Each structure stands twice: as C-alpha cells, then as structure tokens.
Structure 1
C-alpha cells in the first residue's frame, strides 16, 4: 500500500510538468516570444487575488470590449448610411464648367444653348424620376440600421451576462477555497494523529497510509480550486474589456 501510494504521487509529477510546459509555450506564443521556461514570482498558494472587485459595473466600461466596440461602429456606420440614402432623395444642382459654360447666372438662364439646357434639366429630373428606387434604398438602409441596433443591444447583453457570470463564479470560488483549505487542515491533523496512534500501537499502518492519501487528494483539490479562482478573475478582466480600474 505504501509503495502504491508513492507511485501514485510520483505519477502526478510528470503530468504537472507536462501542463507547465504546455502553458509556458502558450504564454510565449501569446506574447510573441520563443517558447521557453518562464520565471515565476511566487507559488499558487501565495498568489494575491483582488479583494475589491466591482459589484456595480457601469455599462460604459463594456464599450472597451472589442466585440461591443465593433457593434458600436457598425451602428454608427448604419446611421451614416441612412443619412446618405436620405440625402440622395434631395437632388442638388451643381453648375460646373461644362460644354464651354464657365458660370451660371440667372440672367443668362434662357440664353443657354438648348443642348446645354437639356443637359442641365436632365440632371435635375433624373433623381426625381428615380424617386421610387431611392425611397426603396432609403427603407433598406433604415432596416439595416434596425438590425445594427438589435445586434448592438444583443452584444451588450452578452457582455453584461459574461460579467455577471464571472462575478458570481469568483464569489462562489472564494467559499470553495475557504472550505477546501479547512478540509486540508483537518486532514493534515488526521495524518499527525494517525502517526501518533500507530506509534502507540493503537492504529495500523494502513490507517496512516489512508490519511496520507486523503491529504494528498485534498491538497490537489485545493490547488485546482485556487487555479479556477485565478481563471475566474481573468474571465472578469476579459469580460470588462481589459479591467475595471
């Protein structure tokens, strides 16, 4: 039993070393550096967590998220397209040097050659004749704008939901860490008591092995919960578009 327990603990070591190597490579890729060992400033047990987290997150913070910002720009573009489409419905007469006509004055309006007059009047009448087409384009632009509004609202709702999820996860993981820490402390006392009982002949060595195995598993569980707690803070940081300070 003792040898089996030792081998079980030894088996965990290469698994953790593999995860460390993969995580270091992922971090190197994320930062644009060559994969390699990354120095650590501490251990998981003494890693500081934020004690003061935002409980009431203003919606304006969510505008820093890339997905929300993209929808915001899309809405602005849709608004602009509606304005452009509406402007096309109001024809404007721009007189330029055309066909030798260098200027336009009201006193020579009727003195213009018929060919030029036909050209100018044609340019004025053309948008009017295409009124139905322009109106349709305007309605399409308004519909696209409504779609952009819906998309923007939906993206903001998704962002709010992700922030709420991360806050709830952090809060509950705090409770899990506290309970897991208490469990580890109690099981460590059990190991000490089992050792004393075995030395006094009041317990078998199997009981000592069992208590040691329980401590190992509880310590692994505590490490996993702490890791999840750190990951939850990263989720909150990302959900807020880069932090809350």
Structure 2
C-alpha cells in the first residue's frame, strides 16, 4: 500500500510544482498577487511533506520485514503492486461451517469432546451445523439456531451400558455420572468455540462484501476528481479559473487516490483475516 501511496503523492507533487511555476510566471507578469504564489507554495510544501513521510514509513516497514526474516535492514524487492492483487470471487458465495474444523481452537475443542465421549462410551456424531456461512450469517438460520440450542445428548450416541461386577458398580456408576457432567460441559465449550468462529468468519465476509462496494464508489470518485483536475488545469491555463480552484482540485485528487489505496489495502487485510478465521483457507 505504501508504494502505491508514494506513487500517488509523487505524481501530485509534480502537479503542484507545475502549478507553482505557472503562478510564478503569472505573478511576474502582474496577473496575480503574491498571495497566489504563497498559497501555491504552501500546497507544494504540503505535498512534499507527504512524500517524505511515506518514504520514512516505507523504510521502517522494510527494516521490520528484514528483522523478521533474520537479515540486516535493507531494501525489499517488490514482486507486484497493490492494484495487481485481487481476492478470489468464490468467497462471496460463502463457506461451509464444517471448514471451521480447520481452526486450531475449534479442533482442540472437538478433540476434547471426542475424549469426553470416549470416557462415557458415546460415539462421535456430526458435530457441525449443515449450513454455509455468509455475510448475512448463513443460508439456513433456523438450522443454525437449532444447532446452538440442541441438547448435549444429540452430540453423540450412547453406547453400551455398565457391565462391571456388582461390588464395583456403584463406584463405577458415580464415575460415569461425573464423566457425563464433564462431557456436557465440554459440549458447551465446543459449541461456544464454534459460535465464536462462525461470528469471526461472518464478520470478515461482511467486511469483504462491503469493502468491495466501497472500492467501487472510491474508484468512481477518483475518475470524477481526475476529470475535474484536468478541467481545472485547462481552465487555469486559459485564464478562466483561479489558482484556488486548481489547488482545491489537486487536493481532492490526492485525497481520493489515497483513499482508494486505503480501501484496497483493507480488502486484502479482510481476505487475510478470513483465511485466518477459517484456520488456513477456503478451498
């Protein structure tokens, strides 16, 4: 993202330099006042400051990445640009809830339940709701609601009964009842873990869906302000627009392009967060 932002800022700085030179020529010809020159210089210095700040941020990020990879601070070779990175379209259709079993926390909770089942002689059943997680929460809300309210006994099938000698039966039965209580507790923990996982996946799907819409709006805004900037420069060159209109158009163009880069970066971050929320992927 920083590389894209600095490209935008440098392009804007070049525009500001060009505008400042034109205004200085107009000042020398007596067409504008010194105020116009000062305003243009202030805008140019602002643009230069943004470039310097972005250069600093890039160097800091490169240093951090170098340390992370076990090397001395150095320039990082780029293999692509922000706009070249896209999210796969298939994630917009949602993901099966069963994929949550890839998550380490869900897997641990599932194995704890399997262990609790083994202690009570209960066979493993289908422990995940049959639904697809989407940005709206799932295709079958009724099924999901039922899954989170069903009795713990439905998470497995009771096996054979206690067939121990008579003298040990009471002690074994007590141990069995305690194991059942522990097992019900494990079911609740498993259910809670899956519920949290579903919420996290749904959150990221919502972000991806809405950021896609935001990106379309931001992209359209960039086209509009770029057209406005072009017209402002043409009008300024022909004396039909003043310097304030040009400075405003340049400022709007800079901000709109930076905002577009921010939204694109947020899209990619949401994709990474979804990948993590699913425990490592969606394919």
Q: Could you say which TM-score interval applies, normalised by the shorter chain?
A: 0.7 to 0.9
Mapped to 1, the partners of 2:246 and 2:97 lie a distance apart of 55
Map of 1:139 onto structure 2? 177
The one of 224, 230, 245 aligned to 2:268: 230
> CA 1:143–1:179 in structure 2 vs 1: closer, same or farther (change >3 Å)?
same
1:75 to 110, 113, 117: 113
- State whether residues 24 and 35 of structure 1, in contact with CA within 8 Å, keep that contact through their aligned partners in structure 2: no
Cα deviation for residue 20 of structure 1 reads: 3.5
In structure 2, the CA distance between the partners of 1:166 and 1:78, relative to structure 1 (3 Å rule), is same
Partner in structure 1 of residue 30 of structure 2 = none
The answer (yes or no) to whether the contact 1:54–1:244 under 8 Å persists in 2 is no
Q: Which residue of 1 aligns with 2:211?
A: 173
| Bigger mean CA deviation after superposition, 1-10 or 148-157 | 1-10
Cα distance in 2, alignment partners of residues 221 and 61 from structure 1:
34
**What stretches of structure 1 of length at least 5 have no aligned partner?**
93-123
1:174-197 deviation digits (Å, cap 9, x = unpaired): 111111011111111111111111
Aligned twin of 2:70: 33
How far 1:219 sits from its partner (Å)? 0.8
Tell me if the contact between 2:225 and 2:253 (Cα under 8 Å) persists in the aligned partners.
yes
* Partner in structure 1 of residue 142 of structure 2: none
* One of 240, 251, 262 as aligned partner of 1:202: 240
Do residues 9 (structure 1) and 47 (structure 2) align?
yes
Partners of 1:20 and 1:144 lie apart in 2 by 53
Counterpart of 1:112?
A: none
Give the whole-Å Cα distance in 2 for the aligned partners of 1:243 and 1:204.
Answer: 54
* Rg larger for: 1
Equivalent positions of 1:71-110 (< 5 A) are 71-83=109-121, 91=164
Deviation of residue 9 (structure 1)? 2.2
CA 1:54–1:46: 2 relative to 1, 3 Å: closer
Q: TM-score, normalised by structure 2?
A: 0.65
Q: Distance in 2 between matches of 1:147 and 1:29?
A: 44
Instruction: Tell me: CA distance 1:51–1:201, structure 2 relative to 1, closer, same or farther (3 Å).
Output: same
Mapped to 1, the partners of 2:111 and 2:64 lie a distance apart of 32
CA displacement 1:188-220 (0-9 Å, x = unmatched)? 111111111111111111110110011111111
Greater mean alpha carbon deviation, residues 135-144 or residues 59-68: 135-144
Q: Structure 2 matches for 1:115-134, cutoff 5 A?
A: 127=168, 131-132=170-171, 134=172
RMSD: 2.7
SS of the equivalent of 1:238 reads helix
Higher RCO, 1 or 2 (CA under 8 Å, sep at least 6)?
Answer: 1
- Relative to structure 1, the CA distance from residue 223 to residue 162 in structure 2 (aligned partners, 3 Å threshold; closer, same or farther) is same
Q: Any idea what SS the aligned residue of 1:16 has?
A: helix
- Matching of residue 218 in structure 1 with residue 267 in structure 2: no
Cα 1:23–1:51 change in 2 (3 A) is: farther
Distance 2:234 2:121 in 1: 84
Deviation, structure 1 residue 23: 4.2
Change (3 A) 1:227 1:56: closer
> What SS is found at the alignment partner of 1:45?
helix
**Contact 1:81 / 1:141 at 8 angstroms: preserved in 2?**
yes
